[in-house]
């Protein structure tokens, strides 16, 4: 029951957050003069006829409270409008882009957690060893490397040489899972490495420091006094307690992840949400920008609910907070 109540509270909190973001989006874009709002929704170079049609279709001449409730109603029903520059529904564009961004984000997150936690645990259990010192240098290098520089280096140093020698498995661009797992991974591996390198460095440092602190706790000494093997003490007792700050950091990083995805998608030519949003900003495609803001906020809320659930499983005390 404690876990169920915790989950319900987190879902209700997420709904409130989405409502706040939606309200802020409406206030930012729809509380200006009607002609200005309609002109920005229509995009650059729109004709007076298109502007008049937008005012009529969206009811921009109605009282602001009526527009607000209509905006919320459209958002709840995933009616994100239509791009007046392309004539394509925003929901359709975002639905096409979302799998690409999800592929980058999920794969990159899994990779940086595996590498970051693995290296961090090994460094903590071999403190001040040669491995630990080399890992420290690697962490500093990873933290110092901008994503776009690393992406370009991977293209120059990996993609081009392999393709010049007839090895065409690793590619830029995007191939969906419908083409097969192997081609999908081949197109995603370099973006995953680019996204994961910087974050893996952060999680290596965080997990190392957290595990070193945990291994000095009384319950670790008690576990050792019972004659348990060092491996079991570390993995069964120490690592679980050390993961709580790591999971907390993951919730923060997911919120900032979309900014990194934009860079990665640009470097590797991936037409995902980040690429689409940047194009929308450059062309003044306001309906797509609004849709991206709402979808991105939903993504962050859902991801943080999952992270909160993982945190509650690691530390049952948070379920009663």
Gap between the terminal Cα atoms of the chain: 14
Which pLDDT score is estimated for 1?
59
Which pLDDT score is estimated for 321?
54
Burial grade of 227 (CB within 10 A; 0-12, 13-18, 19 or more): exposed
Domain tally, the chain: 1
Which pLDDT score is estimated for 69?
92
Please report, for the domain that includes residue 224, its CATH number. Answer: 1.10.3720.10
**C-beta of residue 120 within 8 angstroms of C-beta of residue 203:** yes
273 found inside a domain: yes
147 found inside a domain: yes
Q: How distant is the alpha carbon of residue 228 from its chain centre?
A: 39
**pTM of the prediction?**
0.80
Task: Compute the distance between CA of residue 37 and CA of residue 50 in angstroms, rounded to an integer.
Answer: 13
Task: Compute the distance between CA of residue 12 and CA of residue 14 in angstroms, rounded to an integer.
Answer: 5
Boundaries of domain holding 298: 90-320
Which pLDDT score is estimated for 24?
93
Which pLDDT score is estimated for 318?
55
30 found inside a domain: no
120 found inside a domain: yes
Which pLDDT score is estimated for 315?
65
56 found inside a domain: no
Give one DSSP letter per residue of 43-102, joined into a string: -TT--HHHHHHHHHHHTTTS-HHHHHHHHHHHHHTT---B-TTT--BHHHHHHHHHHHHH
24 Cβ contact list (under 8 Å, min separation 6):
none
Helices (H), the chain: 2-30, 34-42, 48-58, 64-76, 90-125, 130-144, 147-154, 160-164, 181-214, 218-225, 230-232, 239-268, 273-283, 286-314
Q: Which residue has the tokens 């609004």?
A: 290
11 found inside a domain: no
Which pLDDT score is estimated for 190?
92
143 found inside a domain: yes
309: helix, strand or coil = helix
Going from the first residue of the chain to its last (321 residues), give the mean pLDDT of each consecutive group of 10, the final group possibly shorter: 78 92 91 83 76 83 89 88 82 87 88 87 84 82 82 90 87 85 91 87 85 80 78 77 80 73 86 84 84 86 83 64 54
58 found inside a domain: no
């Amino acid at each position: 029951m404690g876990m169920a109540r915790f989950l319900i509270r987190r879902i209700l909190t997420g709904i409130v957050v989405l409502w706040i973001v939606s309200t802020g989006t409406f206030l930012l874009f729809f509380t200006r003069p009607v002609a200005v709002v309609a002109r920005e929704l229509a995009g650059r170079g729109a004709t007076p006829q298109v502007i008049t049609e937008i005012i009529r279709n969206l009811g921009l001449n109605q009282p602001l409270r009526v527009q607000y409730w209509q905006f919320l109603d459209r958002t709840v029903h995933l009616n994100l409008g239509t791009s007046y520059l392309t004539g394509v529904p925003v929901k359709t564009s975002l639905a096409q882009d979302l799998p690409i961004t999800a592929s980058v984000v999920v794969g990159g997150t899994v990779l940086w957690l595996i590498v970051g936690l693995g290296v961090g645990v090994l460094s903590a259990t071999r403190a001040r060893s040669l491995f630990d010192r080399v890992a420290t240098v690697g962490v500093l290098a990873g933290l110092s490397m901008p994503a776009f520089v690393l992406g370009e280096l991977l293209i120059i140093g990996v993609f081009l040489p392999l393709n010049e020698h007839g090895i065409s498995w690793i590619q830029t661009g995007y191939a969906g899972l419908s083409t097969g797992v192997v081609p999908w991974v081949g197109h995603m591996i370099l973006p995953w490495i680019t996204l994961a390198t910087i974050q893996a460095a952060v999680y290596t440092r965080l997990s190392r420091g957290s595990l070193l602190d945990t291994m000095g706790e009384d319950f670790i000494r008690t576990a050792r006094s019972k004659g348990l093997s060092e491996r079991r003490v570390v993995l069964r007792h120490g690592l679980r307690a050390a993961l709580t700050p790591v999971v907390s950091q993951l919730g923060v990083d997911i919120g900032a992840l979309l900014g990194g995805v934009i860079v990665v998608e640009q470097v590797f030519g991936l037409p995902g949400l980040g690429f689409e949003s940047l194009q929308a900003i450059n062309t003044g495609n306001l309906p797509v920008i609004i849709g991206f803001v709402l979808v991105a906020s939903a993504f962050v809320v859902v991801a943080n609910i999952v992270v909160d659930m993982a945190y509650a499983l690691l530390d049952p005390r948070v379920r009663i907070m």
